[in-house]
Structure 1
Amino acid sequence: MAITILADSACDLSKNYYNENNIEMIPLTVHLDNEEYEDGLTINPETVYEAMRNGKSPKTSQASAQDFKKIFTKHAEENKTLVYIAFSSELSGTYQAAKMMELEVKETYPDADIYVIDSKCASIGHGLVVLEAAKLANNGASVNEIIEKANHHAKHMEHIFTVDDLEYLHRGGRVSKTAAFVGGLLKIKPLLHVEDGKLIPLEKIRGSKKVLQRMIDVMESRGQDFENQTIGISHGDDLSRAEQLSEMIQEKFNVTKENIVIEMVGSAIGSHSGPGTLALFFLNTKNK
């Protein structure tokens, strides 16, 4: 029986990945200029970044609980298996909304084959977990095999990222106003990572030129088996720096360009990280 993989838009995969891998998507909501938009559907990241450059502060909200109920009910009625891989519960209420609807639907359909996984990941880190699950589903793997591999990838997915302007993180409550102001004056670039689903500062680097090399250094110290995994890079409307990082990775770790996925940080996550964000994702263990 075919197994459906469901992701939310915070995985930052572009439409071709959904189409090619039979992945269903549920959008988060972006609020801008008193309007509501569906991330990945009715607004593009460039619009969000341009608004932020002009001083606007877009807001976001979790995926709709009623949308989850509709999708879960449909699969329950059709007796189809569904695996939803969610954006980190530490960064959004989307996972909790899905769990709530899963329990509600199972009250009516106790045998519903629906599974909700908290990836504890974000952006393309989340996207890579989704792609691995979809690959298995399309190759006829069992639901237990899919869940096991998704959890393995999620647990071992490293997120190393920097932002162009600390002010955006300040608006999202990630750094203090003083730190954002002083960091801007001193041209300090924060390096952050994700630990158990939360954003955690790693170190501060003075000067943007040093950031890329430091990301490579961290990748070398934390990762392994790069030739046998897909590496992810996401960027906040800064493709040239993303490609520069990709070239450095290819040269340093002897990986092919085809093994690196580069995508723009989507409208929902980009509303908090801002233009100029650069993020790197890789496994810190051998690909299972």
Structure 2
Amino acid sequence: MPVRILADSACDLPKDFFEQNHVTLFPLKVQLNKEEYEDVRTIDPKSVYDAIRNGILPKTSQPSPHLFEQVFSQMAENNEDGIYIAFSSELSGTYSSAVMILNQVKEKYPNFNLTIVDTKCASLGFGLVVMEAAKLAANYASKEEILKDVYFRSEHMEHLFTVEDLDYLAKGGRLSKASAFLGGLLNIKPILNMEAGKLVPLEKLRGKKKVMLRLIELMKERGEHLEDQVVGISHSDNEQTALDVQAMIEEAFHPKEVKITSIGSAIGAHTGPGTIAIFFLNRMK
């Protein structure tokens, strides 16, 4: 029996990925217009971005604790080994909640062999970790082999991104309001990255074109053997820009593959529309 891979929807992989690769999905929740939805399953990101453009700020919350308990207990009863690859604990309480539920389940099933990994990653950076773990599991890699890969990719995954309006991140508590204020001045566009699982402003440039060129420069500075990598691009209702960035990356680095996904409803509720993010490894094995 292959190791079971589990992940939450903050990895921004599409619904069919979970179905086709037998990865268990824990959807984050999105509250919009007094209704609660399950990310990936019952809400489309476009509706979130349209709401934000109309002045409505969605709220998000963790996956259901009951769902954690239900899945973990079923796995324990079936003697399944698993790895739950989780969203950065610095951006959500999802990881902590899962650990708490796991400890409760292990009181009844002390031999339950599930490892929960705090990736310190988000969006498709997180998703690239999940994709490789699912591939290894499908090829019957051992749990130890999969965990080694998950920890390595989580540690070395670069997240470089720019947002249209830093206020969305500030309102959601993901970035300081002082940093957000600086972004709105004189067409200043920020470049941010992830450090130890937190969102950190990296640079500020004037104009979209300069930002995109700088993202490519930063890839060159930080990436290693990009020609051997699957590079990720995610966007929030900004597909044409994502395709333009893909062309720039392919011309500069000739990566093995470039994967583009939409930023999901839960992450997008905080980044807002117009976000472009690039993900790659800063070190290869």
Q: TM bucket by the smaller chain?
A: over 0.9
The 5-angstrom pairing of residues 231-270 of structure 1 reads 231-256=231-256, 259-270=257-268
Task: Kindly indicate whether the alpha-carbon contact (under 8 Å) linking 1:31 and 1:37 is maintained by their aligned counterparts in 2.
Answer: yes
Q: C-alpha distance in 2, partners of 1:185/1:81?
A: 51
Find the counterpart in structure 2 of residue 23 from structure 1: 23
Structure 1 residue 169: Cα displacement: 2.1
Q: C-alpha distance in 2, partners of 1:150/1:178?
A: 34
Instruction: Please tell me the residue identity of whatever aligns with 2:270.
Output: H
Find the counterpart in structure 2 of residue 56 from structure 1: 56
Match of 1:159, SS? strand
1:180-206 deviations in Å (ceiling 9; x for gaps): 455324111110000110001101111
Query: Number of residue pairs matched?
Result: 285
When normalised by structure 1's length, the TM-score is: 0.96
Instruction: Please tell me the residue identity of whatever aligns with 1:89.
Output: S
Q: C-alpha distance in 2, partners of 1:182/1:12?
A: 28
Find the counterpart in structure 2 of residue 284 from structure 1: 282
Match of 2:255, SS? coil
Find the counterpart in structure 2 of residue 76 from structure 1: 76
Q: C-alpha distance in 1, partners of 2:174/2:102?
A: 31
Structure 1 residue 92: Cα displacement: 0.3
Q: C-alpha distance in 2, partners of 1:93/1:186?
A: 35
Instruction: Please tell me the residue identity of whatever aligns with 2:269.
Output: S
Task: Kindly indicate whether the alpha-carbon contact (under 8 Å) linking 2:2 and 2:141 is maintained by their aligned counterparts in 1.
Answer: no
Closer/same/farther in 2, CA of residues 203 and 78 from structure 1, 3 Å limit = same
Closer/same/farther in 2, CA of residues 212 and 88 from structure 1, 3 Å limit = same
Matched, 1:88 2:73: no
Structure 1 residue 160: Cα displacement: 0.2
Q: C-alpha distance in 2, partners of 1:246/1:272?
A: 24
Closer/same/farther in 2, CA of residues 92 and 179 from structure 1, 3 Å limit = closer
Q: C-alpha distance in 2, partners of 1:13/1:191?
A: 23
Structure 1 residue 177: Cα displacement: 5.0
Closer/same/farther in 2, CA of residues 54 and 74 from structure 1, 3 Å limit = same
Structure 1 residue 18: Cα displacement: 1.6
Closer/same/farther in 2, CA of residues 116 and 215 from structure 1, 3 Å limit = same
Task: Kindly indicate whether the alpha-carbon contact (under 8 Å) linking 2:15 and 2:41 is maintained by their aligned counterparts in 1.
Answer: no
Q: C-alpha distance in 2, partners of 1:243/1:88?
A: 27
Q: Which runs of 5+ in 1 are unaligned?
A: none
Find the counterpart in structure 2 of residue 203 from structure 1: 203
Structure 1 residue 228: Cα displacement: 1.6
The 5-angstrom pairing of residues 127-166 of structure 1 reads 127-166=127-166
Instruction: Please tell me the residue identity of whatever aligns with 1:211.
Output: V
Q: Percent identity?
A: 54
Query: Aligned-residue CA RMSD in angstroms?
Result: 1.3
Structure 1 residue 271: Cα displacement: 0.3
Matched, 1:271 2:269: yes
Task: Kindly indicate whether the alpha-carbon contact (under 8 Å) linking 1:64 and 1:97 is maintained by their aligned counterparts in 2.
Answer: no
Instruction: Please tell me the residue identity of whatever aligns with 1:277.
Output: T
When normalised by structure 2's length, the TM-score is: 0.97
The 5-angstrom pairing of residues 5-24 of structure 1 reads 5-24=5-24
Q: C-alpha distance in 2, partners of 1:284/1:242?
A: 21
1:185-244 deviations in Å (ceiling 9; x for gaps): 411111000011000110111111111111000000000111222110000100000010
1:48-87 deviations in Å (ceiling 9; x for gaps): 0000000011010111211111100000000111110000
After alignment, is 230-239 or 174-183 more displaced? Answer: 174-183
Closer/same/farther in 2, CA of residues 16 and 172 from structure 1, 3 Å limit = same
Structure 1 residue 19: Cα displacement: 2.6
Q: C-alpha distance in 2, partners of 1:75/1:141?
A: 19
Structure 1 residue 173: Cα displacement: 3.1
1:108-153 deviations in Å (ceiling 9; x for gaps): 0011111111111000000000011111100110001111110000
Match of 2:184, SS? helix
